[in-house]
Chains A and B, each alone.
Chain A
C-alpha cells in the first residue's frame, strides 16, 4: 500500500511537471535563441530550458557560489527579462545608501536585480523584529512598490 502511494505520488509529480513547467531539452530550442543566450551568458551552467507562454525561460547559475539567474527570450532571440540573485555588496552604492536611510534598522535579504530592456530594478526583502517588507526600487534607490510580508 505504501509503495502504491509513493508510486502514485511520484507519477503525479512527473505528470504535473510535464503539464505546467514544460521543460524543454536544449536540443529542441531554436539555434538562434541558444546561440544568443550562449553569447550573452558565456559562463552559465546548470542550464534548464522551459517554455513560458511563447517565451523561453532559462534558469541557470553562474560563479563559484552558484548565483541563481533566470532569463526570458522571445522566439527570435531577444532578451526581454533577466533576474539575477546578487549580494548586498553588489548593490550600487547609491541604492544601498537610499535604502539604509529610508528603512533604518532593517536587515536586507534576498536581493534580486531585474533587467527588463534598459530598465533595471531591484527587489529585496527587509526584515526587522516587528515588521517584514518586500520592496521593489529603481536604479536610484527610490521605492516603487512596497508589500507587507
Chain B
C-alpha cells in the first residue's frame, strides 16, 4: 500500500468516526434549539391570548382546536391555583402541505392556567414541531455530503501535496533501483532540502562508497591471484609432462602422475574461468560488433557433434528467425557454448536437446535429471547441483556476468520434465 493511501485510509476512518459523533451531537443540539425556540413562541402566544381574552371574553368559548391553535377549558379555583406551566411533546391530526389527508403530526403543547374576571381557565396552545424522522434524514444526508466533500478534498490535497513532497524520494528510489555496483558511475542524488531525504541520501552514499571499495578490492584480488597462478600452473604441467615422458617410471607411479596432471588441468581450467570472470567484470572485452546468434549456435553444435553422438543425444534446432545482437563475439560464444555444453553434460543417455530461436529470444531445452534445479542458486559461483561432478561450478556464473554486462536477461525454468534456459536479447 502506498504511503499516501495509507494515510488516506487512517484519515477516512477517523473522519468517519468524528463526523458520525458530531452529527449525533449536532442532532440533539438542533433538536434542543428548536424546542427552545418553539417554547419561546408558545410563551409569546400565551401572553397575547390571555391579553385578548381580557379584552374579548368571547374567545373563552373556544374549547377545541378546530378553529385555531389554542383551546380553553374552565377550571375550579383549587385546580387552577396548583397548576404549573407544562410543555409537552405530543401528536395531533393535521394536514401538512405535503400530505393528502389528515396525518398524525408531532406538536409541542403548552398548558397553562389563568384568571379572567374572577374565573379560572385552562389554556392549551399548540405549535407544530419538526418531524424527527425528517430531521434525522436531512442531517444524515448533510453529514454524508460533508464527509464525501471532505474526503474528496483530502484526496485531492493528498494527491497534489504528498506527490509533490515525496517526488524527490521516488526519484531517488528509482535511481537506487537502477544502481549497479561497479557499473553505475554516479551515485543517486535527491534534489531537495528536506532534512529526512538529505539524511537518507547521505546514508545511502556512505553505504555505496563502502560497497564500491570492497567490490573493487575483491575484483583486483581475484584478477591478481588468477594472473599470478597462471605461470606456476604452466610450469607444473610442463614438469609433469617431462616426468611422464621419463620411461624409468613404474606403471603405478605413472598412473599417480597422470592423476596429478588431471587435477592440475582442472586447476588451470578453474583459473582460466576466474580470469575470464574478472576480465568480464572489468569490461576488458569491448570489441562489440553485430553477432549472428544463429551462426554461433551452428558453430557450437558442429564442435560438440561427437560428444552428442557418443551419448546418443538428438539435437533439434528450430530457427524461426535470424537473431542478431550487438556484443563481443567471444562473449556470445561463451554464453551459447556454455549453455549447450551444459545441456549435453547434464543430459541422460538417449536424451534430447532442442534449441529454438525467436525474435530477440533463445531457448535451450534438454532432458536430464527429473527434478528442477534451485533457480536462485544456480547462477552463483561454485554452486554445483551434483557435488562430485567434474565441473568447476563457474560456467553459469560466467554466463550471468556476461548477460549482466550486455543487459541480456537469463531465466531458468523446469517445464514438462525438461530444463529450460531462456535468453532475452533486448
A contacts, CB < 8 Å to B: 26-32, 34-36, 38-39, 42, 75-77
Q: Which residues of A contact B83 (CB under 8 A)?
A: 30-32
Question: Of B51, B83, B113, B120, which is in contact with the most chain A CB atoms at under 10 Å from its CB?
Answer: B113
Most buried by A among B46, B47, B114: B114
- Residue of B46, B82, B112, B115 near A77 (CB, 8 A) is B115
The reply to whether A31 and B114 form a contact with Cβ atoms under 8 Å apart is yes
Chain B CB count within 10 A is highest, among A34, A35, A39, A77, for A35
Nearest CB of A to B70, in Å: 14
Q: A38-B47, A39-B47, A39-B50 are in contact. Are A32 and B120 (CB under 8 A)?
A: yes
Instruction: Enumerate chain B residues within 8 angstroms of A39, measured Cβ to Cβ.
Output: 47, 50-51, 54
Overall SS of chain A's interface: helix
- B interface, CB within 8 angstroms of A: 46-47, 50-51, 54, 77, 80-85, 112-115, 120
CB distance from A60 to the nearest CB of B (A): 15
Do residues B115 and A75 form an inter-chain contact, with CB atoms below 8 A?
no
| A30 interface neighbour in B50, B54, B84, Cβ under 8 Å | B84
Q: Are B114 and A42 in contact (CB under 8 A)?
A: no
| Contacts A35-B112, A35-B113, A36-B114; A27 near B84 (Cβ below 8 A) | yes
CB distance from A58 to the nearest CB of B (A): 15
**Interface CB pairs A-B, < 8 A, 23:** A26-B85, A27-B84, A30-B81, A30-B83, A30-B84, A31-B83, A31-B84, A31-B85, A32-B81, A32-B115, A35-B47, A35-B50, A35-B112, A35-B113, A35-B114, A35-B115, A38-B46, A38-B50, A39-B47, A39-B50, A39-B51, A42-B47, A75-B81
Candidate in A30, A32, A75 with the most chain B CB atoms within 10 angstroms: A32
- List the A side residues contacting B46 at CB < 8 Å: 35, 38
**How far, in Å, is A79 (CB) from chain B's closest CB?**
12
